[in-house]
Chains A and B, each alone.
Chain A
Amino acid sequence: MADEATIDEICVTAIADGFRGDGEILCNPIGNVPVIAGRLAKATFESAMVMTDTVSVLAANTIPVGDPDAERLVEAWMPYRDLFDIVWSGRRHVVMGASQIDPYGNQNFAAIGDWKKPKAQLLGLRGAPGNLVNHTTSYWIPNHSIRSFVQKVDVVSGPGYDRVSELSDWIQSNHEIRQIVSNLGVLNFSNKEKRMQLVSHHPNVTVEEIISSTGFELLVPDNVKETRKPTEEELKLIREVIDPHDLRKAEFVKK
């Protein structure tokens, strides 16, 4: 028996589960925890997905995070220009971060305050505007609080369901926010109103805690489950193969 799964590992498998059924697309998580999750999904239940080495090639083998010298089984060259072709082809599922997210999934990682003269300049729009209108997106938010889950975001980098409902049929049929994984639970928009709802709470987290850490009215169905725990095989892959240096734990250090 391996040691019991810790919160970082539960988040990894929750993010990985978001790729179920994706098939032969570019799995493109950004940041250590999402990358570990993507590589886990590819190494187990979604082997048809392709993934980058986070530099410039698609690597067929399972490579450890944070190891620039790890051996790569290169299956294609993927410079940034070609990455945009994949974005526009729709064959991509990205996992991005969010400094703020609202009830309809509008995401901000551009700036806090007025973008003209922000209190805090963050990453900028980056690829979010193009990603959201072209292919599936998920979010990873390691600091679930009323400051990150807000009624209204300061800047919309990635548009949510209310804004997209006013756009073309083409965009509506390509836009999908699959899920949000936070350090407290899993959320999605699988309801008629396309509003954020709670899907599961992580072990040792209560539904009440999630509600009080969310700055807007969250839809809470009756059947909120506990987020599943990783299997023995998954724990072994995470701990020994994909993240032997525990890089995933850095995002869970209490600040």
Chain B
Amino acid sequence: MGCSSVEVVIDKKMTEMEVIEELTDGMTIGVGGWGSRRKPMSLIRAIARSNLKDLTIVSYGGPDIGLLCATGKVRKAIYGFVSLDSIPLEPHFRNAKQSGTIETSELDEGAFYLGLLAAAHRMPFYPTRAGLGSDMLEMNPEIKTIESPYKSGDGEKGEELVAIPALNLDVSLIHMNRSDSQGNGQFLGPDLYFDDLFAKAAKRTFMSCEKIVPTEDFLKEGSVHTLKIPRLFVDGVIEAPRGAHFTECPPDYGRDEAFQSEYAASAKDLQSWENFKQKYLETTSHQEYLKVVDSRTQTEENQNG
């Protein structure tokens, strides 16, 4: 059909476990998605099960930050917010913050975007006014202000601006609806969030997806505007159906609110967390995890029936 093309022989397919082998202690890891939306949860769970430690997690945070805090993987969290959306406060993150077990860098949401953009453009910083007057600068003493070199009048001082430092990432993890095995990614939902910037801001990016499809099938499901992740920014592709569970991944599936509530409730005390961890995190693979999740739903249905 149509395109008698040059065959692309690149194959970036890999498994969650192979991604873990590429990660090392102390790395700075960016995570795509937004709150409890389209998070690469199969990869996050693989990190939670691993021996990795002292990670810096950079994210518009949701259960990615919460789960990694609860499993002791996080040395520092850099975020615009940490929320589960339908549950506004992420309880596992709150536990970590309130007990002082993690370091944090809390940024204005827009300032966080500029930090990613600066990293993607290999700039040391981008300027903004966000942070002036609030406690953001006191909370982040490493962030400096600069004087604008463009002055409004003769002899006047240039305007003071905040220089948001580049959020340079060792690795980014993102989740797409579709990708091909060469590493091109497609989002089919209402918002890409900042996943393309996470990919561009990182030395290496691993992208999970609901389904790996042949390149020629991309335009069957979405317009050309949905193809925002070109393969030159992607190093590995992991096929993980329902890989964002329990966060939402429209149009493939919505958020599993019942499961999210169970996850949130597990932050209540150590015993609740141990139970949750044993049941859902100590599974050997993403496929095993889904079996446990599904058996839970079936049990509930039987009880309700």
Could you tell me if B135 and A121 are in contact, using CB atoms closer than 8 angstroms? no
Could you tell me if A84 and B113 are in contact, using CB atoms closer than 8 angstroms? yes
Q: How far is the CB of A110 from chain B (nearest CB, A)?
A: 7
Could you tell me if A156 and B133 are in contact, using CB atoms closer than 8 angstroms? yes
Could you tell me if A80 and B97 are in contact, using CB atoms closer than 8 angstroms? no
The verdict on A29 contacting chain B, using a C-beta distance below 8 Å, is no
Say yes or no: A79-B128 contact (C-beta < 8 A), given A123-B88, A127-B108, A127-B109.
no
Could you tell me if B160 and A168 are in contact, using CB atoms closer than 8 angstroms? yes
Interface-lining segment among B44-52, B77-85, B204-212: B77-85
The verdict on B23 contacting chain A, using a C-beta distance below 8 Å, is no
**With A129-B131, A171-B133 given, can you name 5 additional A-B contacts, CB distance below 8 Å?**
A87-B110, A126-B109, A129-B111, A167-B160, A168-B132
Q: How far is the CB of A62 from chain B (nearest CB, A)?
A: 20
Closest 8 CB pairs of A and B: A159-B133, A130-B130, A129-B134, A56-B190, A117-B100, A129-B108, A79-B191, A130-B110
Q: How far is the CB of B281 from chain A (nearest CB, A)?
A: 23
Could you tell me if B113 and A81 are in contact, using CB atoms closer than 8 angstroms? yes
The verdict on A205 contacting chain B, using a C-beta distance below 8 Å, is no
Query: Which residue in chain B gives the minimum CB-CB distance to A111?
Result: B97
The verdict on B302 contacting chain A, using a C-beta distance below 8 Å, is no
Q: Which residues of A contact B (CB under 8 A)?
A: 55-57, 79-81, 84, 87-88, 110-111, 115-130, 132-134, 155-159, 163-164, 166-168, 170-171
The verdict on B291 contacting chain A, using a C-beta distance below 8 Å, is no
Candidates B82, B110, B132; contact of A127 at CB < 8 Å: B110
Within 8 A of A (CB), among B95-125: 97-100, 106-111, 113
Could you tell me if B133 and A84 are in contact, using CB atoms closer than 8 angstroms? no
Contacts of B159 in A (CB 8 A): 168, 170
Could you tell me if A119 and B133 are in contact, using CB atoms closer than 8 angstroms? no
Q: How far is the CB of B201 from chain A (nearest CB, A)?
A: 14
Contacts of B194 in A (CB 8 A): 80-81
Q: How far is the CA of A171 from the CA of B159 in the complex (A)?
A: 10
Q: Please list 22 pairs of residues, one from A and one from B, whose beta carbons are closer than 8 Å in the complex, sorted by A's number.
A: A80-B193, A81-B113, A81-B193, A81-B194, A110-B106, A117-B99, A118-B97, A123-B81, A124-B81, A124-B82, A125-B106, A126-B80, A126-B109, A128-B134, A130-B129, A132-B134, A156-B133, A159-B132, A163-B133, A167-B133, A167-B160, A171-B129
Contacts of A129 in B (CB 8 A): 108, 111, 130-134, 136
Query: Which residue in chain A gives the minimum CB-CB distance to B161?
Result: A168
Q: How far is the CA of A57 from the CA of B190 in the complex (A)?
A: 8
Could you tell me if B98 and A118 are in contact, using CB atoms closer than 8 angstroms? yes
Q: How far is the CA of A120 from the CA of B99 in the complex (A)?
A: 10
Q: How far is the CB of A248 from chain B (nearest CB, A)?
A: 18
Q: How far is the CB of B102 from chain A (nearest CB, A)?
A: 10
The verdict on B146 contacting chain A, using a C-beta distance below 8 Å, is no
Q: Report the contact-size class of chain B (Cβ under 8 Å from the partner).
A: 35 or more
Contacts of B191 in A (CB 8 A): 55-56, 79-80
Candidates A87, A120, A163, A164; contact of B98 at CB < 8 Å: A120
Contacts of A122 in B (CB 8 A): 89
Contacts of B198 in A (CB 8 A): none
The verdict on B279 contacting chain A, using a C-beta distance below 8 Å, is no
Contacts of B193 in A (CB 8 A): 79-81
Q: How far is the CB of A111 from chain B (nearest CB, A)?
A: 8
Q: How far is the CA of A3 from the CA of B21 in the complex (A)?
A: 66
Q: How far is the CA of A198 from the CA of B27 in the complex (A)?
A: 52
Could you tell me if B98 and A121 are in contact, using CB atoms closer than 8 angstroms? yes
Contacts of B82 in A (CB 8 A): 124
Q: How far is the CB of B249 from chain A (nearest CB, A)?
A: 14
Q: How far is the CB of A73 from chain B (nearest CB, A)?
A: 16
The verdict on B94 contacting chain A, using a C-beta distance below 8 Å, is yes
Q: How far is the CA of A14 from the CA of B81 in the complex (A)?
A: 29
The verdict on B139 contacting chain A, using a C-beta distance below 8 Å, is yes
Q: How far is the CA of A52 from the CA of B272 in the complex (A)?
A: 38
The verdict on B192 contacting chain A, using a C-beta distance below 8 Å, is yes
Query: Which residue in chain A gives the minimum CB-CB distance to B128?
Result: A130
Could you tell me if A125 and B100 are in contact, using CB atoms closer than 8 angstroms? no
Candidates A115, A124, A164; contact of B133 at CB < 8 Å: A164
Q: How far is the CA of A118 from the CA of B130 in the complex (A)?
A: 23
Contacts of A118 in B (CB 8 A): 97-98
Contacts of A116 in B (CB 8 A): 100
Q: How far is the CB of A57 from chain B (nearest CB, A)?
A: 7
Query: Which residue in chain A gives the minimum CB-CB distance to B134?
Result: A129
Candidates B80, B133, B192; contact of A133 at CB < 8 Å: B133
The verdict on B34 contacting chain A, using a C-beta distance below 8 Å, is yes
The verdict on B246 contacting chain A, using a C-beta distance below 8 Å, is no
Q: How far is the CA of A120 from the CA of B94 in the complex (A)?
A: 8
Q: How far is the CB of B67 from chain A (nearest CB, A)?
A: 17
